[in-house]
Chain A
């Protein structure tokens, strides 16, 4: 979710729909909203209202400095984990 916000601010529906379309990521889109609220509460994203071309104003989410550092931590952790799994699988098939 933070990765989605790394380059641009987005509104909640857009975030949820984009994640929902990634195969195998999300089984229930609704469960992403509490996650978004938690990121906001923890200061990893900020919100602001912006007018929309169609319909009422939308609340846009943008990543904060704290959010970026959490994202960087996760990316390095994830890379380590992925490499570990890949090396294990490589041993298994060898």
Chain B
């Protein structure tokens, strides 16, 4: 396959893959693979651009191909699974179990792509509750180790704590953006995931 043929074939396969998003994952992969194999057989090194275009025209419009694969499946609607997936993921309540339940629902839903599922899983692991634990735990640990290792007795008898006051107390100006990020980002992600699920169930 020469450079021009490569470009045409790649853009055709890209378009097909995009249109085939409405199909279940396995059928989509199978269809794209079949067409890729077809093109590997049909398009040869010595072909002109016109020849390649004729091969692609004979295959037909990606929309028609996907439509031929389409009507066997009843469309999946956005529903309770998606609602609970997002509620559990964002809240993380009950601790650990809630987030895991949300993760299970997220993975099982056909309305999200793999990338969107990763996004849902990593903002934030454990949900708000997990984040709360994460923020609360290291602070107490640092505070505990601080008093033992960094406390000095000055010659005049007064106690001085060095080096750790700022490490476990988050500086005030960091609080506002930190809280907004921690609490707000899951909401933004949830709204985004809710919308893409709606778009896919409508398609």
Interface residues of A (CB under 8 A from B): 12-13, 16-17, 20, 27-38, 55
Classify the secondary structure of B's interface with A: helix
A33–B27 CA distance with the chains assembled, in angstroms: 11
Whether B68 and A31, one on each chain, are in contact in the complex, defined by CB atoms closer than 8 angstroms, is yes
Other A-B contacts than A30-B60, A33-B65, A37-B34, 10 sampled, CB-CB below 8 A, are A13-B38, A17-B42, A28-B61, A28-B64, A29-B59, A30-B35, A31-B68, A33-B34, A35-B68, A55-B41
Number of A-B contacts (CB under 8 A): 58
For B60, list chain A residues within 8 Å (CB): 27-31
For A28, list chain B residues within 8 Å (CB): 58-61, 64-65, 68
A13–B34 CA distance with the chains assembled, in angstroms: 9
Interface residues of B (CB under 8 A from A): 27, 30-31, 34-35, 37-38, 40-42, 58-62, 64-65, 67-69, 72
Shortest CB-to-CB span from A38 to chain B, Å, is 7
Whether B65 and A30, one on each chain, are in contact in the complex, defined by CB atoms closer than 8 angstroms, is yes
Shortest CB-to-CB span from B38 to chain A, Å, is 5
Contact check: which of B37, B41, B64 meets A31 at CB < 8 Å?
Answer: B64
Whether A37 and B31, one on each chain, are in contact in the complex, defined by CB atoms closer than 8 angstroms, is yes
For A30, list chain B residues within 8 Å (CB): 35, 38, 59-60, 62, 64-65, 68
Whether A12 and B37, one on each chain, are in contact in the complex, defined by CB atoms closer than 8 angstroms, is yes
Whether B30 and A37, one on each chain, are in contact in the complex, defined by CB atoms closer than 8 angstroms, is yes
Shortest CB-to-CB span from B110 to chain A, Å, is 18
For A17, list chain B residues within 8 Å (CB): 42
* Given A29-B60, A33-B35, A13:B41 Cβ within 8 A: yes
